[in-house]
Structure 1
Amino acid sequence: MGVVRMQKEAGDRPVTGSGMDQVVETRKLSAKVKAAIGGAVVLVAALLFWWFAPSGSSQTVGADHVTVSSVTRGTFDDFIPLRARVTPLLTVYIDAVEGGRVEKMLVEDGATVAQGQPIAVLSNAELQLSTLARQTEVEQQINNMRSQELSLAQTRLSNERAVLAAETVYDKARRQYEREKPLAAKGFVSTRQFADTEADYELSQRNLAALKRSQATDARLQTSQLSQQQAAAQSMQSGLAIARANLDALQLRAPVAGQLSGFSVQVGQSLQRGERVGQIDSPGRNKLIAGVDEFYLGRVQLQQKASLDFGGKQYAARVTKIYPQVQNGQFQVDLQFLGAEPANIQRGQTMQARLTLGDPTPALLVPNGAFYNETGGNWIFVVTPDGKSAVKRNVRLGRRNAEYIEVLEGLEPGEKVLTSPYTGYTDKTRLDLSK
């Protein structure tokens, strides 16, 4: 094979592709286009966030964190459970009427005492001296009043004697006047003598009338004065009796019969006036004190029946007193046993009771739950048919007991509702239930 060598001409240049290249001018986006693109991206992001973000009126809740209950038809037993405390039916407190030093203890705490039985002896020298001084003063005043009564009696007797003497003088003057009057008319008695007789008669008559008026006035005043003195004497005697009673109060006595408790004073101890030293409980008679939720304040009435189970037996009781003062969301009621009391119950012991508020009635029921505390029975979360969410619905609930709440409006049998606490959900209208 032959190789043909080609001669390069002197004027020839090396062959390159530079003659084929073209310069392309770069075009940049304008500021308006960039702003429009950025705005579109922000708008799309906001729409995506609004679509996928949870609503402010809804919240996702784990299905295992809520309690789902069914609405059913049944019989509503109108009762409330009570936790009652045993307390004596009658309690009488013992106070130190007068202060003093404890000299002697006559009984011990827990003893059964009779009415009026001495339980302790106090001493109070100041009280004893003041009582003696008061007694002396009263007796002196009474003696003074008796002296005044004696003086009044003597005055009354003197007045009576003066009236009697005046009546005697008057009778003599009258008889003399009656004898001389016919004789003077016939001239057997001188005119002067008869005039003197007539003057004596008239004077004795006026003197007797004046004495009788004076006696009547004195008698009226003396009667009033004697009544006042007698009233004052009675008042003083009463004051003296009170002073003696205060002195007698240094001996503490049982005001009623029963069991003495809380009696912890010691010999040598100083007690202040009015200080409580113990109490006496009625033996064998007890009552129950129970706290009731303030929701039932308008429904609990006197004489309502209650039942208690104790030692395998059922006992009946009734409401005898209602204390309307509400403390810590409760008010107090007293329950008194009807018939025999349980044996061997102790003061302070607690018992379970059921207070009946009304007769059993057919009703639509929803299980009682903590949701009622947040809603007040005005609304409830109802589970949708697919079970994936619960929607807030206005309802009207009525009576409730420890197990069920009566449904008046807003729910149908078979519907599911949330009965667990609504803490943190009260401002929501929908709850999404996640598995």
Structure 2
Amino acid sequence: MSVLKLNRPKEPDAGAAVSGSGMDRVVERRTMPTRYKIAAGVAVAALLVAAFLWFAPRGGSQTIEASRLTVSEVRNGRFDDYLPLRARVTPLLTVYIDAVEGGRVEKMLVEDGATVSEGQPIALLSNAELQLSTLARQTEVEQQINNMRSQELALSQTRLGNERAVLEAELAVQRSRRQYEREKPLAERGFVSGRQFADTEDEYRYQTRRLAVLRRSQSTDERLQAGQLSQQQQAAQSMQSGLAIARANLDALQLRAPVAGQLSGFSVQVGQSLRRGERVGQIDSPGRNKLIAGVDEFYLGRVRLQQKASVEMSGRRYDARVTKIYPQVQNGQFEVDLQFTGDEPRDIQRGQSLQARLVLGDSAAARLIPNGAFYSETGGAWVFVVAADGRSAVKRQVRLGRRNSDVIEVLEGLDPGEHVITSPYTGFADKERLDLQTQ
């Protein structure tokens, strides 16, 4: 601000010439001191900073439109402890068919999808190399068996020869003993010379010792022959088993159904070459199915064998139970097998998906909030609670328990009648307070 001071002009002297210059006035301009200007600038800047801090959003809060949020009420109710599952229908029993021996497909005896009986031929293969090797193996085995039979015959003849020699030795002993007994009293009376009686006595002792030696030899031969015969019999049995396996491999060129059921995945063609052990199809048990369902790894410790389950189909409920648990976790899930405990749904097809419920526990009264996407972001540790006037929401620590597809059990931190935000917390999960705008 400037202050102007007007100076009055001096009165002209008398008698002086009058001119127009006497009418002009000098105007003096005054300005505010510099220190006042600086103080005023500082005051204005302080006011601007205060206004910015007052109207700017706080770091721990965020303004958001209420229409973007889902607000739910805490209420008392009954909690049904179940887990919804999406199950896939698979055969209860599946037996795979592999080509035991490789070969060329010569003939197809049944088509894919046909119902077969146990042992029914389904395809015929050919393998010239296998057939020739089996015939050579059979010839070799038969030759070895004939050789063993010849050895058995030789051993039998040796046994008979030993028995014959023992019999002859026993007869010689009996004769020499009778001669010795006949001449002994005569020699004592002098009717037989001493030399002749000595020869008779020596002959009797010789025949007796000879018989003992033959008997020992026969016993030893019998023991050795018994061991040889046993080994030959075992070798013959082993050869026969090997020959049976070779014949079975040759017979395996005719593919047969291992069990009765429905043939599937059987897509071989005439002229196709199959490798040894190659899978050619499978047989599914007819009219008997099971369900395979993926379960979130969060429930790995709560799923048990024989737990009850149910399937809803065509307005009817079918009971089932858990028969197998696969503990391997892949992509955050593990699998379980469900088997029907009663009648199966009609017209269910392999690969069909069904909605199932796995019962984890008994129903009980509880404090509940609706299940929402917020749980995946908070883990059930906290929620945003809406104020009574509906204009704000504050983060609050809570403790949540069991949950199903519809509701979550509240253990601590919330009272019936309070309202919480159950929609996703994306974009404001790090805030402590929300200001809700309503249109």
Q: Which band: TM-score by shorter chain?
A: 0.7 to 0.9
Distance in 2 (alpha carbons) for counterparts of 1:125 and 1:398: 69
Task: Kindly indicate whether residue 137 of structure 2 is the aligned counterpart of residue 115 of structure 1.
Answer: no
CA shift digits 1:292-323 (9 cap, x unpaired): 22222222222222222222322222222222
Of 356, 360, 369 in structure 2, the residue corresponding to residue 357 of structure 1 is 360
CA shift digits 1:172-223 (9 cap, x unpaired): 3333334444444555544444443333333323322222222222211211
What pairs with 1:386-401 in structure 2 (closer than 5 Å)? 386-401=389-404
Residues 149 and 27 of structure 1: is their aligned pair in 2 closer, same or farther, counting only changes over 3 Å? same
Of 393, 408, 411 in structure 2, the residue corresponding to residue 408 of structure 1 is 411
Of 318, 342, 345 in structure 2, the residue corresponding to residue 339 of structure 1 is 342
Task: Kindly indicate whether residue 199 of structure 2 is the aligned counterpart of residue 214 of structure 1.
Answer: no
Distance in 2 (alpha carbons) for counterparts of 1:316 and 1:257: 27
Question: What amino acid is aligned across from residue 133 of structure 2 in structure 1?
Answer: S
Distance in 2 (alpha carbons) for counterparts of 1:198 and 1:204: 10
SS at match of 1:301: coil
Distance in 2 (alpha carbons) for counterparts of 1:170 and 1:116: 69
Residues 190 and 392 of structure 1: is their aligned pair in 2 closer, same or farther, counting only changes over 3 Å? farther
Of 143, 146, 150 in structure 1, the residue corresponding to residue 149 of structure 2 is 146
1:92 corresponding residue in structure 2: 95
Moved more, 375-384 or 357-366: 375-384
The number of residue pairs the alignment matches comes to 427
2:201 corresponding residue in structure 1: 198
Question: What amino acid is aligned across from residue 264 of structure 2 in structure 1?
Answer: S
Q: CA deviation at 1:139?
A: 1.0
Distance in 2 (alpha carbons) for counterparts of 1:19 and 1:313: 112
CA shift digits 1:17-66 (9 cap, x unpaired): 9999999999766xxx9999999988887776666544444433332222
Distance in 2 (alpha carbons) for counterparts of 1:17 and 1:51: 59
Q: CA deviation at 1:15?
A: 9.7
Distance in 1 (alpha carbons) for counterparts of 2:293 and 2:112: 28
Distance in 1 (alpha carbons) for counterparts of 2:82 and 2:404: 6
Q: TM-score, normalised by structure 2?
A: 0.86
SS at match of 1:161: helix
Question: What amino acid is aligned across from residue 137 of structure 2 in structure 1?
Answer: R
Task: Kindly indicate whether residue 379 of structure 2 is the aligned counterpart of residue 369 of structure 1.
Answer: no
Moved more, 8-17 or 208-217: 8-17
Task: Kindly indicate whether residue 236 of structure 2 is the aligned counterpart of residue 233 of structure 1.
Answer: yes
Distance in 2 (alpha carbons) for counterparts of 1:104 and 1:367: 63
SS at match of 2:179: helix
Q: CA deviation at 1:76?
A: 0.6
Distance in 2 (alpha carbons) for counterparts of 1:171 and 1:49: 143
Residues 191 and 431 of structure 1: is their aligned pair in 2 closer, same or farther, counting only changes over 3 Å? farther
1:264 corresponding residue in structure 2: 267
Q: CA deviation at 1:229?
A: 1.3
Consecutive unaligned residues of structure 1, counting only runs of 5 or more, are: 1-5
Of 75, 79, 99 in structure 2, the residue corresponding to residue 76 of structure 1 is 79
Residues 205 and 74 of structure 1: is their aligned pair in 2 closer, same or farther, counting only changes over 3 Å? same
Give the root-mean-square deviation of aligned CA atoms. Answer: 3.3
1:3 corresponding residue in structure 2: none
Distance in 1 (alpha carbons) for counterparts of 2:344 and 2:170: 85
Task: Kindly indicate whether residue 347 of structure 2 is the aligned counterpart of residue 378 of structure 1.
Answer: no
1:161 corresponding residue in structure 2: 164
1:250 corresponding residue in structure 2: 253
Question: What amino acid is aligned across from residue 360 of structure 1 in structure 2?
Answer: S
Of 275, 279, 283 in structure 1, the residue corresponding to residue 278 of structure 2 is 275
1:311 corresponding residue in structure 2: 314
1:133 corresponding residue in structure 2: 136
SS at match of 1:108: coil
Distance in 1 (alpha carbons) for counterparts of 2:340 and 2:51: 70
Moved more, 290-299 or 7-16: 7-16
Distance in 2 (alpha carbons) for counterparts of 1:53 and 1:192: 153
Moved more, 323-332 or 174-183: 174-183
Percent identity over paired residues: 72
Distance in 1 (alpha carbons) for counterparts of 2:48 and 2:225: 116
SS at match of 1:209: helix
Task: Kindly indicate whether residue 83 of structure 2 is the aligned counterpart of residue 105 of structure 1.
Answer: no
Consecutive unaligned residues of structure 2, counting only runs of 5 or more, are: 1-11
Distance in 2 (alpha carbons) for counterparts of 1:335 and 1:16: 120
1:301 corresponding residue in structure 2: 304
Q: CA deviation at 1:132?
A: 0.8
Question: What amino acid is aligned across from residue 386 of structure 2 in structure 1?
Answer: V
Task: Kindly indicate whether residue 333 of structure 2 is the aligned counterpart of residue 330 of structure 1.
Answer: yes
CA shift digits 1:119-165 (9 cap, x unpaired): 11111111111111111111111111111111221222222222222
Residues 141 and 425 of structure 1: is their aligned pair in 2 closer, same or farther, counting only changes over 3 Å? farther
SS at match of 2:424: coil
Q: CA deviation at 1:402?
A: 0.9
Residues 185 and 274 of structure 1: is their aligned pair in 2 closer, same or farther, counting only changes over 3 Å? same
Task: Kindly indicate whether residue 338 of structure 2 is the aligned counterpart of residue 321 of structure 1.
Answer: no
Q: CA deviation at 1:14?
A: 11
